[in-house]
Amino acid sequence: MATFLKSTEIPIDNARTLPREYYNSPDILADEMERIFARRWLCVGRADRIPSPGDYFLQQVGKESIIVFRDRSGGFRAYYNVCRHRGTRLCEEHTGRFSETIQCPYHAWTYALDGRLIGAPSTGDLEGFNKSDYPLFPVGVEIWEGFLFINLSEKPERFDQASQALIGRFSRFNLPNLAVARTIEYDVRANWKLLFQNYSECYHCGPVHPALTKLTPPTSGENDLTEGAFTGGFMVINRGHESLTMSGQACGVVVGDLPEEDMNRVYYYAIFPNLLLSLHPDYVMFHTLWPKGTDRTQIFCSWLFHPATLSDSTFNPDDGVGFWDMTNRQDWHICEQSQLGVESRAYVPGPYSTRESLSVQFDREVLRSLGHPVR
């Protein structure tokens, strides 16, 4: 049984916001890409993005392009999008399907789907050349609750060890069997950390989200993951409302086998470093975040529903999608305003409130990951 804590019960030790350079320094961003995004497990969306053998998509992580695909056995693989000959990108199209092989468009070096080099024209007379010495460079792949994760580290930490706090936590929400109804891409002019900090607190909800606060009190709920790489908990839906939608009513069937207490709760979890997971009784929303610069983040937001919802015309998934698209845009706007402010010479770190304890924990995880002193 989870132990829930009010935000005000979580010690923050007079924590202050991060200094300006954490939001505008190219050097710090480069360090984050190397020490965080190249070493941690990153969510790249849902497994059903590539439903059939041979299906692939490309995932950009900083300057790296990664091929993620489903192999002939139905499993998942990932490789750097780099030919072993001259380094040419193997794939240009963002999505597609391989037949039996992956072939470089430059000199036709050809690879089996298990990464082996099987064709290298005009290399037969090269002394000491052996195709087995030139496989594609692999990238770690794992699937969890229907989500796909990749890890660029040469020796990644085992997913089940890195994500121990998550294993089994959301099984009642039936996540592997939910289907994506809609995905919206956002290009936000703000540092990725500001977006994580914003998601992790509702101190801002009163001024920024008037429609949200009518459905769920900003001070309601409790947190059960309060330190480390994964943080979050639940907020309570007001009586008379069923979900977070434009109408306040449910926009789908219940997603899984939920206990009665979950029927008036929404759970929010920040899964370091790039997944935000929001679990409602009738749908699940998730964001993946990809830093594109010190002041720019690409965000993909998707809404998952029970298949019975999507096959029943009496339900309107857009009721939930529209609510959060509106709320997302309110968040992105205020984060963009924060970005402009923290870049000012007048900005100095300010004190966090006790209602921002999970944002404090996020900052500490960033600092620990970078090897910087924890404030």
State if pTM tops 0.75. yes
Spans of the chain below 70 pLDDT = 1
pLDDT at 132: 97
Q: Where are the domains of the chain?
A: 7-38+171-370, 42-160
Residue 47 tokens, joined = 């497994």
pLDDT at 311: 95
pLDDT at 1: 59
Residue 37 tokens, joined = 């995004």
Residue 256 tokens, joined = 């899984």
pLDDT at 10: 83
Question: In three state form, how does the secondary structure of 195-255 look?
Answer: HHHHHCCCCCHHHHCHHHHHHCCCCCCEEEECCCCEEEEEEECCCCCCCCCCCCCCCCCCC
Q: Which residues are registered as beta bridge partners of 231?
A: 270
pLDDT at 120: 97
pLDDT at 193: 98
d(C-alpha 177, C-alpha 168), whole Å: 15
Topology alike, domains 7-38+171-370 and 42-160 = no
CA torsion 39→40→45→47, rounded to 10°? 90
pLDDT at 242: 97
Q: Where are the beta strands (DSSP E) in the chain?
A: 42-46, 55-61, 64-70, 76-80, 95-97, 101-103, 110-112, 117-119, 140-144, 147-151, 179-188, 222-225, 230-236, 265-271, 275-279, 284-293, 296-305
Residue whose entry in the numeric block shows the structure tokens 């050097």: 27
According to CATH, the superfamily of the domain at 7-38+171-370 is: Naphthalene 1,2-dioxygenase Alpha Subunit; Chain A, domain 1 (3.90.380.10)
Residue whose entry in the numeric block shows the structure tokens 């002394």: 127
Burial of 295 (0-12, 13-18, 19+ CB in 10 A): buried
Under a CB-based contact definition with an 8 Å cutoff, are residues 245 and 237 in contact?
no
Under a CB-based contact definition with an 8 Å cutoff, are residues 135 and 85 in contact?
no
Task: Select the CATH number that applies to the domain covering 42-160 from these four: 1.10.10.10, 3.40.50.2000, 3.40.50.1220, 2.102.10.10.
Answer: 2.102.10.10
